[in-house]
Amino acid sequence: MPHVVLLGDSIFDNAAYVAGGPDVVTHLRGGLPEGWQATLSAIDGATTHSMPIQYKRIPNDATHLVLSLGGNDALMNVDILDRRTSSAGDALGMLADVRDAFAGRYGEVLRELRSRDLPLTVCTIYEGNFPDARMQRLAATALTVFNDAILRAAVAAGLQVIELRLVCSEPADYANPIEPSVQGGAKIARAIARAVGADGHGGPRTEIVTV
């Protein structure tokens, strides 16, 4: 029996933000074919540092793993947006340091999950819905360094990627600036079902070619 396990943070564990409406895993269960199962092992607030807790929550009969992780790592470094620097080069250097540290930790998470020898899909970090236009622009720009690390790691490992920046692309997809709403959760669930081959049709996909 196919069994999809959701790992990571509140992008999947979003029940606290939908005012009693269906969360991501509820949407997913409702959209999976008969005989499929979905388990929520993600934990709201999770970071790359706290993932070892979730490794123990992966059911023995899991057949597909889906990971959405990195948003809280980015929030832990949000102060970088207000730091004073003497040059653009210094600002880019700080972002590079943050990216390198995150990339190392994210790579460790992928190595652990890949050791399970199960199909693994990862998600990029969406850009949120901040009420302040300046904050929205800065956040979207800063997140590119985290998403670059995620995409590089995924491509290097030959993993499938859900591009959440294109999935949650409307204000109504968000319950607050950083959490998915009922609508956003439904869209995420549909993307997951498609990624694991449970939606009944494939459709065109983007491929990235490396040597």
Nearest to 126 by CA among 74, 87, 53: 74
45-81 pLDDT, tens digit per residue, is 999 999 999 999 999 999 999 999 999 999 888 777 6
User: Which domains are present in the chain?
Assistant: 3-195 (3.40.50.1110)
> Which of 192 and 208 is assigned the larger pLDDT?
192
The per-residue pLDDT of the chain, averaged, comes to: 93
pLDDT for the residue numbered 204: 60
Q: How confident is the model at residue 202 (pLDDT cuts 50, 70, 90)?
A: low
Instruction: Give the separation between CA 35 and CA 145, rounded to whole angstroms.
Output: 39
Enter the pTM of the model: 0.93
Nearest to 39 by CA among 51, 28, 55: 28
pLDDT for the residue numbered 81: 65
pLDDT for the residue numbered 103: 97
118-171 pLDDT, tens digit per residue, is 999 999 999 999 999 998 998 899 899 999 999 999 999 999 999 999 999 999
18-33 pLDDT, tens digit per residue, is 999 999 999 999 999 9
Nearest to 142 by CA among 180, 89, 94: 94
